[in-house]
Amino acid sequence: MNFQAVKAIYTFEMARTFRTIMQSIISPVVSTSLYFVVFGAAIGSRIETIDGVEYGAFIVPGLIMMSLLTLSISNASFGIYFPKFTGTIYEILSAPISYGEILLAFVGAAATKSIMIGLVILATAAFFVDLQIQHPFVMMLFLVLISVSFSLFGFIIGIWADGFEKLQIIPLLIVMPLAFLGGTFYSLDMLPPVWQTISLANPVVYLVSGFRWSFIGTSDVNVWVSLGMTLVFLAVCLAITAWIFRTGYRLKT
């Protein structure tokens, strides 16, 4: 294994994160804080408890999840798209590095950044609400698995995209609506039965539900089902990246 190369790409990507610290770290923290202020403190104070939990604390896992999904995708897609756009990808493709190593470096860096931000948002949340984490290990497991899966998904988008517009389409038009409708701000029990059933087709429901279980100990969907769905998503993304690398799709002519 070419450790030096993985380290070089990983370090480069992380350095990019810190170079753009305002955009990478501070802005998600600020926007999440705004959600806490608006939904948690202002509106939440007028909402009764859900599953015995204050509304402000109830939305914490969903808000973290929403940031994790969007940031993992944007970090990883930008990370691989930008060298394609500037042409510097030639150096990576001509280096003695396997596709697996390229993936490890790019996805590893994007996931690291997402996990960091997830934890920062968690710490931020502690300022606004009385936070409890009943299953911290499960919480970390979901945090890592979801960051990795969606960074992989972002990597795929970055390879597929042939313009900046395409980088934005999937996060904005698919992921964001699914995240909003995935139980970030509500429990599925609060929906009419038809919508409860329809919601089960939304993959984000399983992620939010599982993650929330690790915090408050109750969930809309069984935690094992959530974990299973996360692993299925991870496996699908891995299979697609394997195909990309085997065919050289949008990387090699």
Cβ nearer to other proteins, comparing 5 with 68: 5
What value does the CA radius of gyration of the chain take, rounded to a whole number of Å?
19
Q: Applying CB under 8 A, does 5 fall inside the site for other proteins? A: yes
**Minimum CB–partner distance for residue 249 and other proteins (Å):** 11
Provide the phi-psi class of 25: left if phi over 0, else alpha when psi is between -120 and 50, else beta: alpha
d(C-alpha 61, C-alpha 185), whole Å:
10
Q: Applying CB under 8 A, does 2 fall inside the site for other proteins? A: yes
Q: Applying CB under 8 A, does 164 fall inside the site for other proteins? A: no
CA–CA distances in Å: residue 141 to residues 72, 194, 210: 16, 31, 10
d(C-alpha 249, C-alpha 253), whole Å:
8
**Minimum CB–partner distance for residue 39 and other proteins (Å):** 36
Per the CB < 8 A criterion, the answer to whether 81 and 160 are in contact is no
Cβ nearer to other proteins, comparing 54 with 82: 82
Sites for other proteins among residues 96-135 (CB under 8 A): 96-98
Q: Applying CB under 8 A, does 196 fall inside the site for other proteins? A: no
Provide the phi-psi class of 130: left if phi over 0, else alpha when psi is between -120 and 50, else beta: beta
Q: Read off the tokens for 77.
A: 């897609």
Site map 12..51 versus other proteins, x via CB under 8 A: x--x---x--------------------------------
Q: Which of 21, 34, 43, 93 binds other proteins (CB under 8 A)?
A: 93
Which positions touch other proteins (CB under 8 A)? 2, 4-5, 7-9, 11-12, 15, 19, 86-88, 90-98, 248, 252-253
